[in-house]
Homo-oligomer: A and B are copies of this chain.
Amino acid sequence: MRFTINTNRFLKAINLVNRSISTTTPLPSLAGILLKVEPNSLSLTASDFNISIRTVITADEVNIEEEGTVNINARYLHDIIQSLNGTTTTVTLIDGTLLEITSDQSVFKINGMPAADYPNISFDCSGKPFNLKTKIVEEIISSVAFACSTDETRPALTGVNLKAEGRELDCVGTDSRRLSLKKLELDEEENFNIVVPVKYLTKIKDSIADQDECEVKIDNQRITFSFANTVISARLIEDSFPSITHLFPNTFKQQAKLNSRELVSAITRSSIMKYEGKDTIKMSFKDNKLELTAISQEVGTSYDVLTPISYEGSDLVIGCSGKHLSDAVRVMGNKETLLYFNGEAHPIIIKNPEDDSLIQLISPTRVYF
């Protein structure tokens, strides 16, 4: 095995496949990148079993002198290639699994692992391919991912539910206390209902950032993204995602429009006071004023008054997590925020008055102060 390649091009490929490597993998060979040199290409494969990335560099970008294959520790390979000064780098398998890396005046000799011990990683996916704009994945991450759970005891909630019916794509993230629903539009009609782990979707978003679109395939177990001689395959979460259709009522008892900046600023102040370690805030709508109150038994109390832009409905006292509400308002990214209520015991619905593609929901918290 021997090839010469532009150092930056090699580093870019290493950075790409490195995203799939877990620092806590129990299998030593999965701490490595599988390098495979064939007559007309160099491929790099890395995986943590749940997400796998393979990228192929074709002969126009790599000068191949000898075929071969070896598995090299990803962290060392990355640190070495990143440290090199030379424009090009030559990689040679000199003896068994000993790899020589030379560039400019630098020579590294590092011990690899036998390629034969690398597990067989399949990138096959039986689904019908379709094109997906990169922007769609970015919008899912920016508007839905934050609401997902990090608690592995309910696996489905650590993922984003992607549900396509025709050209409509509904994307939902929830940790059961808050929920974010983003409605997006596909180029073509599709029909699927899957749960993609949010941590892998984030890695996919970072990996495809340079592209305009990808080819996507979905089957019962996996979703694959293909672009620029690269395939990313991520395992889906098989647990079923909770149904959310009943969560959004058509009628509301109270409705408020607020200045987003003022609201976030007041919540930030209130959240300094933690009630039993939680950032519960109490909102009281009365006489066209919104009073925000928070209490920490040890520290003290905070009190703020805002004037809603508009308020419809009867007086209301309702509690919720300050962080959940300020996250929701920030993700909307709009100057004004709409809040809808059905009394103190039902979820708060948060909308952007200028864009109804994003709907958020927060469970209320019972307040005793």
Q: Please list the residues of chain A having a beta carbon within 8 angstroms of any beta carbon in chain B.
A: 73, 76, 79-80, 83-85, 98-99, 105-111, 265-266, 268-269, 272, 298-306
Contacts and interface: CB of A to CB of B under 8 A. Distances in A.
B304 A105 contact: yes
Contact of A269 (B83, B98, B269, B303): B83
Q: How many identical chains are in the complex?
A: 2
B76 A272 contact: yes
A84 B269 contact: yes
Contacts of A298: 111
5 contacts: A83-B268, A108-B302, A109-B301, A111-B299, A111-B300
A275 to B, nearest CB: 14
A108 B265 contact: no
B83 A272 contact: yes
A300 B100 CA distance: 10
Contacts of A301: 108-110
A105 B305 contact: yes
Nearest to A103: B269
Contacts of A300: 76, 98-99, 108-111
B304 A265 contact: no
Nearest to A267: B83
Contacts of A302: 80, 106-109
A304 B111 CA distance: 18
A88 B83 CA distance: 53
Contact of A79 (B80, B99, B109, B272): B272
A303 B107 contact: yes
A301 to B, nearest CB: 5
Nearest to A298: B111
Nearest to A100: B300
B106 A73 contact: no
A108 B76 contact: no
A269 B306 CA distance: 58
A298 B266 CA distance: 56
A110 B84 CA distance: 57
Given A79-B272, A108-B300, A111-B300, 5 more contacts: A105-B306, A106-B304, A108-B302, A109-B303, A110-B300
Nearest to A272: B79
A268 to B, nearest CB: 5
Contacts of A304: 105-107
A106 B262 CA distance: 12
Contacts of A106: 266, 269, 302-304
A293 B4 CA distance: 23
Considering residues A85, A98, A306, which has the most beta carbons from chain B within 10 angstroms of its beta carbon? Answer: A85
A100 to B, nearest CB: 9
Contacts of A109: 300-303
Q: Which 5 A-B pairs have the closest CB atoms?
A: A110-B300, A107-B303, A83-B269, A105-B305, A109-B300
